[in-house]
Structure 1
């Protein structure tokens, strides 16, 4: 006994890439799940700037998670130690332990990288 299976490549591609196709729906579900995790893991209000997109490229369907917050690169990559100087005034003003402090220079120690998008991808799999 022999069995022969023939696949219509065009029909299969339409099934997988169609707007309501199985592969597209599953990809959308997974991308949304990872985006929800990323929004929860993001510091401050950065999670409000996360959006998703499904793109069809030369390698097939791709799920894309986008964070359009202006400081996202500084959070993901971290910062080196740096100096902070006043721009518009002659001094900086901030509170430390309830006391108001004025100074002309702050030596910021830098920040560690926070790869919250990569962590969300790992947790969302």
Structure 2
């Protein structure tokens, strides 16, 4: 005795794209776990700017993790050595060096190394 089963590929594709289906729930769990890792790996308060969501994409559902901190690009890519000047013309910079308050017309920043905490979170969250 044989049983013939026909499957509609379109119906399977629609089922996999359901917002409350198994695939969407599993994707949401993995995206949330990866976002938590990114929050932990982020420097300073940058982790509090991380958000995540599951959305429809060109190939189906996709998990999206974003960081809206204004300096995130500088952290991810790093910076070259540069000079920092006061915002106001004729102003001075005020900072501490060895516990002493110092005023200066400019400061030489040595630059920063890249810290791609989002990529590390993606690799660790697999």
Q: TM-score if structure 1 supplies the norm length? A: 0.92
Matched, 1:108 2:90: no
Provide the aligned C-alpha RMSD in A: 1.6
Q: List per-residue Cα deviations over 1:9-31 (Å, max 9, x = no partner).
A: 23312321112211111100000
After the TM superposition, which of the residue ranges 57-66 and 34-43 deviates more from structure 2?
57-66
1-structure distance, mates of 2:37, 2:125? 7
**Counterpart for residue 94 of structure 2:** 93
**Counterpart for residue 67 of structure 2:** 67
1-structure distance, mates of 2:27, 2:21? 10
1-structure distance, mates of 2:66, 2:123? 16
Q: TM-score if structure 2 supplies the norm length? A: 0.91
Give the C-alpha shift of residue 90 in structure 1.
2.3
Unmatched 5+ residue regions in structure 1? none
Structure 2 SS opposite 1:43: coil
Structure 2 SS opposite 1:102: strand
Q: 1:79 to 1:3 in 2, by over 3 A?
A: farther
1-structure distance, mates of 2:111, 2:3? 65
1:15/1:21 contact within 8 Å kept: yes
| Moved >3 Å (runs of 4+) | 1-5
